[in-house]
Amino acid sequence: MKQELNKIVKPIVKWYQKQEKELPWKQDKEPYHIWVSEIMLQQTRIEAVKKYYTRFMQELPTIQDLADVPEEKLLKLWEGLGYYSRARNLKKAAIQIEQDYQGKMPTTYTELLKLSGIGEYTAGAIASISYNEKVPAVDGNVLRVISRLVASKADVLLPETKRNITKKLLEIMPEEAGDFNEGLMELGEKICIPNTIPLCEKCPVQEFCIANQKKLTTQIPVRIKKQKRKVETKTVFILKYKNQIAIRKRAKTGILANLYEFPNITRNCI
C-alpha cells in the first residue's frame, strides 16, 4: 500500500496549492484559528460554520479571551452549533494553555493531545497545518479518500481501520505536511464525496484510484450501520403568565448540560 500511496502525494499537494482559500480560517496558519475552526467543523457543515467562526473570533480574538469568557457568553456564541461539550472543552483547553504553556498553543502533536477536547485528528490538523509537523490528520473525508484509492473494504467506523490508514499515511508524509493533509480533506469535501457518485473526472489522483478503476466507488467506503438510537418521547409544558414564560436550567451533567429548556416530563421510551 505504501508504494501505491506514494504516487498520490505530489499531485494532491500541487492540486491543493492551486485551490482558492476562500474560507475565513484558511487565510492564515495561526494555530488558534485552526483549532477553533476544526472543533466547530466537527459534526457541522462548512457553510453553517462560517458565520459562527467569524462571530466567535470577533468576540474572542485570543486564547486568553477564550479562557476568561463566562460560560453563559460562550454558550451563547456557540448557540445553534450544537454539541455544547465542544465549546466547554475549548474553554478548558484555553485555561490549560494559559496555565501550562504561558498562553501559547503547544507546538507539537504530542503536546496538543494533552489539551481537553483535542483528539488525534485535531492534534494532527493543528500540528501539520500550523507547524508543518509530519503527522496525518485522519477524518471521515480522509478515510473515504484513502479507502477508495486502495479499494479497501474495511469498515471505516472501526478504530482499527483508522489506525491502519493513519499508519500508512505517516509513512508517506511529505515536507508539505499541512498542504497534503488539507488536500486530502478538501478532496473528500469537494470531489470524493459521500452518499453519491464521486466526481472522479475532476480528481487529481484518478489514475491511481483502484476503486475508480474497478467501478467500486459507490460501494466504498464500507460502513456497518450502528444500532438504532434511543428515542425519548416528552411532554413539554408552555407555562405563561402575562408576558413571562417559565423556563428551567438543565442538570450540570448529561446532554445539553446547564442549558435552558421548557419544563417537561418523559412519557415513555422506545
**Residues 20, 22, 30, 38: which is the catalytic one?**
38
Q: Where are the beta strands (DSSP E) in 133-227?
A: none
Would you state the cell numbers that stand for residue 78, as one nine-digit string?
Answer: 456557540
Distance between CA 94 and CA 39 in Å, rounded?
13
| Long-range CB pairs of 91-96, under 8 A, 24+ apart, other chains included | 91/66, 91/67, 92/116, 92/117, 93/117, 93/118, 94/63, 94/64, 94/66, 94/67, 95/67
38 annotated active-site: yes
Beta carbons of 114 and 106 less than 8 angstroms apart: yes
Half-sphere exposure of 146 (CA within 13 A, CB side): 32
Active site residues: 38
